[in-house]
Amino acid sequence: MRLTSKGRYAVSAMVDLNNQRDQGPITLSAISERQYISLSYLEQLFRRLRESGLVNSVRGPGGGYLLAKDAVDISVADIIRAVNEPVRTTMCENGIRGCHRGQRCDTHQLWESLGLHIYRFMDSVSLAQVCAKDAVLNHIQLGDVARYLPADPMAEGMIKIEAIS
Amino acid sequence: MRLTSKGRYAVSAMVDLNNQRDQGPITLSAISERQYISLSYLEQLFRRLRESGLVNSVRGPGGGYLLAKDAVDISVADIIRAVNEPVRTTMCENGIRGCHRGQRCDTHQLWESLGLHIYRFMDSVSLAQVCAKDAVLNHIQLGDVARYLPADPMAEGMIKIEAIS
DNA sequence: TTAATTCCGACTAATTTAGTCAAGTATATA
DNA sequence: TATATACTTGACTAAATTAGTCGGAATTAA
């Protein structure tokens, strides 16, 4: 999980796309103007968003981009994952096994787990939640981070998140 | 909040430091060997960790680094924040007000809020939690992400996290 | 005094981010 | 059909960040 301004750009663009979803296909130049992101850079980002199945494209005049699914089914993590390269594991050559110099990297699983947590958290925030607050309050309330649940509750213990205020 | 392998290195080093805390000051070369991080790069990272008050240094032979506070009082976010440059806000020139070209950047507060969430989550995981599981299971259980609370519960609503399994 | 070790600044290389450019291809519409 | 619109693609560049390297200076235990 990488978190840089690249992901920020992508999230901003997707928010824009969803906010304008009644207008039919949205052109990148329109997004470019509203979000102050260069058209060419948006082209790069949307190539990836399309390849990840998050947006559909319509070519020709009147064309543009549309969300491929409902905003409640798109998480912030989906968007960030789409535009980022897969994380380069600098410390470990292979995946979860066999770390470099033939020795076990004893912090590998540790970071894997921590990364998983962050990932799940980001996956718990949907584009719809982000957009709703953007439109209404321009601000996300903590209480709206609905549920933060592991894919298999039995596997690793389970956390319940409740808004209590 | 930026999340790259730089932060990973720093967290790994801090985990190592805490795991060896009974041994007195720990030299960077020892950490370098155990964690496969170059000594010079560790020097860069520890300069920042020291400036942020997360570690104390002891110079001269027998010297090295020690955690400046108890591991329960150091969050993963503290560590990552320490080694990273302050985030460059590419889209907005000033802080929370006055975005570029004189116009209001309508996704600024949005991302501020989302970033705040991620931040708080990372702040809820302490080095001690990370280390405990590293030593025993080499794995963090979800149920151990103890509390995820805003600094001022009244300000923005409040979330309670409970392990329920 | 000597060796171990942190401290510090300047430098470099690799990678990623951000952005440009110059072509294409598809298609609605005049 | 012609044309303008808009996506698609690949190659390229510049800036920033990451991940180091290097050489020395300061500190201090032995």
B163 within domain boundaries: no
pLDDT at residue B98, rounded to an integer: 39
Tokens standing for residue B112: 């501020």
The residue count of chain B comes to 165
A159 within domain boundaries: no
Q: What would the pLDDT profile of A14-35 be if each residue is shown by its tens digit?
A: 999 999 999 999 999 999 988 8
A68-72, A161-165, B97-101 — which one is most confidently predicted on average?
A68-72
Q: Tell me the C-alpha distance between B34 and B39, whole Å.
A: 11
CATH number for the domain harbouring residue B120: 1.10.10.10
3-state secondary structure of A12: helix
Work out the burial of residue A158: count CB atoms within 10 Å of its CB; fewer than 13 is exposed, 13-18 middle, 19 or more buried. middle
3-state secondary structure of B159: strand
B57 within domain boundaries: yes
Contact B112, B96 (CB under 8 A): yes
Q: Domain limits at B103? A: 5-148
Q: Tell me the C-alpha distance between A67 and B2, whole Å.
A: 27
Question: For the packed helices B108-123 and A127-136, what is the interaxial angle rounded to 10 degrees?
Answer: 130
Closest partner CB to B113 (pick from A109, A110, A140)? A140
In Å, what is the separation between the CA of A119 and the C1' of C10? 38
């000594």: which residue's tokens? B39
A103 within domain boundaries: yes
User: Is residue A47 less than 8 Å (CB to CB) from chain B?
Assistant: no
Residues in A touching B144 (Cβ below 8 Å): 157
Q: Is the CB of A90 under 7 A from strand D?
A: yes
For chain B, the domain total comes to 1
pLDDT grade for B50, boundaries at 50, 70 and 90: very high
The better pLDDT of the pair A118, B17 is held by B17
With CA atoms as reference, report the closest residue to B90 among B108, B73, B71. B108
Calculate what percentage of chain A has a pLDDT beyond 90. Answer: 38
Q: How many CB atoms lie within 10 A of CB B1?
A: 21
B160 within domain boundaries: no
A160 within domain boundaries: no
Calculate what percentage of chain B has a pLDDT beyond 90. Answer: 40
Residue nearest to nucleotide C27 (CA to C1'): A60
In Å, what is the separation between the CA of A79 and the C1' of D8? 20
Q: How far is B59 from chain A (nearest CA, A)?
A: 27
Tokens standing for residue B48: 């920042």
User: Is residue B147 less than 8 Å (CB to CB) from chain A?
Assistant: no
A121 within domain boundaries: yes
Alpha helices in A53-152 (DSSP H): 76-83, 108-123, 127-136
User: Which of residues 46-105 of B have CB within 7 Å of strand D?
Assistant: 59-63, 84-85, 88
Tokens standing for residue A93: 């050559």
With CA atoms as reference, report the closest residue to B124 among B152, B155, B146. B146
B117 within domain boundaries: yes
